[in-house]
Amino acid sequence: MFVEQIYTGCLSQASYFIESNGEAAVIDPLREVDIYLKKAENRNSKIKYVFQTHFHADFVSGHLSISEKTNAPIVYGPNADPKYDCIISADNEIFVLGDLKIKLIHTPGHTLESSSYLLFDDKNNQHAIFTGDTLFLGDVGIPDVAQRYQGISKEKLAEMLFESINNKIKPLDDNITVYPGHGAGSACGKNMMRVTVDTLANQKKVNYSLNGKFSKIDFVKELVKDLPEPPAYFPQNVKLNRDGYVGIDKILKNNLKNLTADYVYNKIKSDDVIVLDTRNPSDYCNEHIPGSIFIGLNGRFAPWVGEILKDINQEIILIVEEGKEEEAITRLSRVGFDNCLGYLDSGIESWKTAGYSTESIRSIDPEQFINESSPNSQIIDVRDKSELINGKFKSSKNIPLSKIDSHKKIDKNLTSYVYCAGGYRSVIACSILKRDKFNQLVNVESGFSGISKLI
């Protein structure tokens, strides 16, 4: 028996490869599927099943591409309504994989079709459960991402989730391994642990959904309290995963195009295109194309693209470091942003060589910030509200990055000092504000992690 977790930090997402005696299965694959195909090849195995825990909202899955390339059937649980051929499994249906067995357990609550997969070893002992977005480590899946297309209240889904966890997962053997669909940082849960693998026994101690301290009523109240509005791209990704999408091979063929500076300039003038600068924050602050938005590849790139740009059909032109063009397009496609026109050939240098102007954003270190700022300064903290427990700078206004385009609290006539936790999100915020004609912007490098050492 071979089980491997394939974790993608940018999305805080876990997919799984299981193999036994020449037969393999993949659970919740990413859109770029070569990694799973190569694992099967390296283990001299054939992919027999592609198991989906639900219709994902935060990323586009690779289930269709794997099925197309291997003829492996796609498996969903009850209530799934995909627009392509697949197996809609019954609750407790068994699938044989080499010397192993995998039982689909219908665990609705995150979504109506949400299912978990219980793995039995060659001696028919319970070995592991793959819980998707039903049970996380230290947390559970939030029920609101399904609302926009399923038309059911979050309270009703929370009740279902309580029943699924207490009646389907909690009775399983304590010594089994819990393999969740996401880890800390995902928008699919509130407060996940940073570890990505644990035992069910330990989760019964540390996870409020399993420790027996909450009644159903209290569980529902806790789960639906302060639920954030799901990002606009979530229901769009659900639709792609449910209805079908273009494979990553075709996306790369269509989008991996080098564009001239003249083409980019004329496109910006004539169309509603967004120039997306993916370089390092310092490079962007030093010089960038006017009106461009910064979201760097060296951070949580794909989720922030979805959060900030919102519409997956948005036309995008990339500014990338040489050699990272394919990576940028691939990571855009993970969240369904397939309408990339290409990338500026030779980057910002070709833009300047063609005679076009650049802009910059002043960027200072925490010590300069403390020396310059005063009680009357306009200081914008773009961290999430939950991060304020770590402290904040006096007189700062908290406007989370996800809300930065609602900037009524910010005075354009004042200099705005912008900081986050570490210096990544603050540059995103500055780029959005500058695009909206805020010209007196100062980025605080290192963010509150640097500021806190000096106050």
pLDDT at residue 432 in the model: 98
Phi, psi of 375 (to 5 degrees): -55, -20
pLDDT at 50: 99
Supply the pLDDT for residue 299. Answer: 96
Amino acid occupying residue 30: L
pLDDT digits (tens, 9 = 90+) for 385-394: 989 999 999 9
Quick one: pLDDT at residue 191? 85
- The neighbouring-strand residues paired with 398 are 381
The 3-state DSSP class for residue 178 equals strand
Res. 36: pLDDT tops 80: yes
Inform me whether the pLDDT recorded for 96 exceeds 90: yes
Question: What is the predicted pLDDT for the residue at 144?
Answer: 67
Spelled out in words, what is the top-level CATH class assigned to the domain 246-353?
Answer: alpha beta
Q: What is the pLDDT of residue 187?
A: 86
User: Where does the pLDDT of residue 149 fall: very low under 50, low under 70, confident under 90, or very high at 90 and above?
Assistant: low
pLDDT of residue 445: 98
Q: What is the mean pLDDT of residues 146-172?
A: 88
Rounded Cα distance between 434 and 282, Å, is 16
* Sheet with 46-51, edge to edge strand ranges: 2-8, 13-20, 23-27, 46-51, 74-76, 87-88
The H-or-E segment that residue 97 falls in is strand 94-97
pLDDT at residue 146 is higher than 80: no
pLDDT at 227: 85
Residue 384 to residue 403: CA distance in whole angstroms: 10
Same fold? 246-353, 362-451: yes
Whether 150 shows a pLDDT value over 80: the answer reads no
pLDDT of residue 133: 97
User: How many residues can be counted in the chain?
Assistant: 455
Q: What is the mean pLDDT of residues 63-73?
A: 99
% of the chain residues with pLDDT over 90? 91
Mean pLDDT of the chain: 96
CB 132 within 8 A of CB 139: no
What pLDDT score does 359 carry? 98
Give percent above pLDDT 70 in the chain.
98
pLDDT of residue 148 exceeding 80, the answer is: no
What CATH homologous superfamily does 2-235 map to?
Answer: Ribonuclease Z/Hydroxyacylglutathione hydrolase-like (3.60.15.10)
**Closest to 201 in 3D by CA, of 117, 158, 116, 137:** 137
Nearest to 418 by CA among 359, 367, 377, 387: 377
CATH class name, domain 362-451: alpha beta
**What value does the mean pLDDT take over residues 315-326?**
98
Give pLDDT, residue 407: 79
Concatenated DSSP letters for 329-365? HHHHHTTT---EEEEETTHHHHHHHTT---B--EEE-
Residues 75-85: what's their mean pLDDT? 98
What are the tens digits of pLDDT across the range 399-448? Answer: 999 999 887 889 999 999 999 999 999 999 999 999 999 999 999 999 99
* Domain residue extents for the chain: 2-235, 246-353, 362-451
In this prediction the pTM is: 0.95
pLDDT digits (tens, 9 = 90+) for 173-231: 999 999 999 999 898 888 899 999 999 999 999 999 999 889 999 999 999 998 888 88
pLDDT in tens, 270-293: 889 999 999 999 999 999 999 999
**Cα 130 to Cα 437: distance, rounded to the nearest angstrom:** 48
